[in-house]
Amino acid sequence: MATTAIAIGTMKVAQVSKPEADFQIFEREIPEPGAGHVRIKVQACGVCHSDVLTKEGLWPGIQYPRVPGHEVAGLVDEVGAGVAGWKKGQRVGVGWHGGQDNTCRECRRGDFRNCRNLKIPGISYDGGYQQYMVAPVEALVAIPETLSDVEAAPLLCAGITTYNSLRHSGALPGDLVAVQGIGGLGHLGIQFANKFGYKVAAIGRGSENAALAKKLGASIYIDSTSTKPAEELQKLGGAQVILATAPSSKAMSELIDGLGPNGKLMVVGATFDPIEVTPLQLISGSRSIQGWSTGTPADSEDTMHFAELTGVRPMIETYPLEQAPEAYARMMSGKAQFRVVLTM
């Protein structure tokens, strides 16, 4: 990174000093953007379950101390050398896709989402749990004026993950699409699925989620604590797609028999346990299982424009940056309704 002799001031950051350490609020020098980078004045940053990778040291090669955060909304504060197309004061975001190498085979084929040396904010470099951050220009996302910073932030990970996976799932308007889980990802998945014109079945735990699921756009609610969701889906003809958002491999495994012919289990809820499936379950009905990671900054812009067009919005709880430890604990408790966002 380029350095400057003139210090431009300090900022607050919420950092993790080593794996499994508690968050600490520190003052640091405001960084200067190097060539091909911009400095962002962070306005809001979502607290995502994937931040556990940084907090607990579960991603190989993270250098500490590290500032997490990959759902960043803010303003361009300074541009580094060679940066074109972005100007000071412009509203921008940075999501999970925090830059690519442009040289690996996947990048040369235009498949930036699967870059072999993908950069991730909060993992590869300091993310958005701070008042200012520096990001490579290829990671930037333009934020539409009608979305507030706190609304935009969760769309840069939870939003794009559900929107992008559904639009690439092969389901057509009128198809039965089930969304497993009514949490941070699921509550957005239900909204997007409804706006895509699918017949939406929401799968949740307990009858108390039924009213919310219907309000979000589900036409059917399946309570997994009192019924067998796979059997309920088969009564409806079988799901064309099941979007698995809740990080429970056991729950995902139990849904596979709910797929219709040529049905697909789209896996976006990240967990380390194996999904259990027999070859016969897949062969019978030509079913498939596919994982899906977020997408490129262009996909993020598509997500936000679609949300702007259709009124899809995340449900959020906000915390000031100084309360990052409490915000993270709230997200990890599973009780947040539904995305936690830090404000600066």
Phi-psi label, residue 179: left if phi above 0, alpha if psi -120 to 50, beta otherwise: beta
**What is the token pair recorded at 317?**
């709880």
Average pLDDT over residues 137-156: 98
DSSP string, 307-329: HHHHT----EEEEEGGGHHHHHH
Average the pLDDT over 238-266 and give the result: 97
Q: How many whole angstroms separate alpha carbon 203 and alpha carbon 213?
A: 9
pTM across the whole model: 0.95
Tell me the average pLDDT across 19-42: 97
Sign of CA dihedral 43, 48, 52, 58: negative
- Could you state, in order of their start, the residue ranges of all structural domains in the chain? 10-155+315-343, 169-291
Report the run of H or E that residue 300 belongs to, with start and end: helix 297-310
Fold type of domain 169-291: Rossmann fold (3.40.50)
Topology of 10-155+315-343 in CATH? Quinone Oxidoreductase; Chain A, domain 1 (3.90.180)
- For residue 8, what pLDDT band results from cuts at 50, 70 and 90? confident
For residue 5, pLDDT over 80 is answered with no
Instruction: Spell out where 96-163 has E strands.
Output: 132-136, 140-142
Long-range contacts of 88-91 (CB under 8 A, 24+ apart): 90/142, 91/142, 91/143, 91/145, 91/149
Residue among 139, 165, 168, 143 nearest 154 (CA): 143
Provide the pLDDT for residue 282. Answer: 98
Whether 10-155+315-343 and 169-291 share one fold: the answer is no
* Residue 213, SS3 per DSSP: helix
Statement: residue 52 has pLDDT above 90: yes
- The backbone torsions φ and ψ at residue 207, rounded to the nearest 5 degrees and listed phi first, read -75, -15
> pLDDT of 153-199, one tens digit each?
999 999 999 999 999 999 999 999 999 999 999 999 999 999 999 99
238 vs 247: which has the higher pLDDT: 238
Cα 164 from Cα 151, distance rounded (Å) = 18
In this prediction, residues 140-155 reach a mean pLDDT of 98
Nearest alpha-carbon partner for 169 in 203, 199, 142, 193 = 193
Q: What is the mean pLDDT of residues 110-132?
A: 97
* pLDDT given for residue 7 in this prediction: 57
User: What would the two tokens of residue 140 be?
Assistant: 């930037």
Specify the pLDDT at position 4.
43
Q: What average pLDDT does the structure give for the chain?
A: 96
Share of the chain above pLDDT 90, in %: 97
Task: Provide mean pLDDT across the span 202-229.
Answer: 97
Instruction: Determine the average pLDDT of the residues in 14-18.
Output: 97
Q: Which residues pair with 76 in a beta bridge?
A: 40
Question: How many residues in the chain?
Answer: 344
